[in-house]
Amino acid sequence: MNTEIAQIKNYILFPSHSSGLALESLLKGRKIKYVIVPTPRELSACCGISIQYEKKDEDMIKKLVEENNIKVLGFYRLEKKYKDFYK
CA atoms 36, 39, 42, 46: torsion sign: positive
7-59 confidence digits (pLDDT tens): 899 999 999 999 999 999 999 999 999 999 998 888 876 668 899 999 999 99
Q: Where are the domains of the chain?
A: 21-80
Strand partners, 75: 12
Spatial CB neighbours of 34, under 8 Å, sequence gap ≥ 6? 24, 27, 51, 52, 53
Note the pTM of the prediction, 2 decimals. Answer: 0.83
Which is nearest to 19 in space by CA: 39, 3, 4? Answer: 39
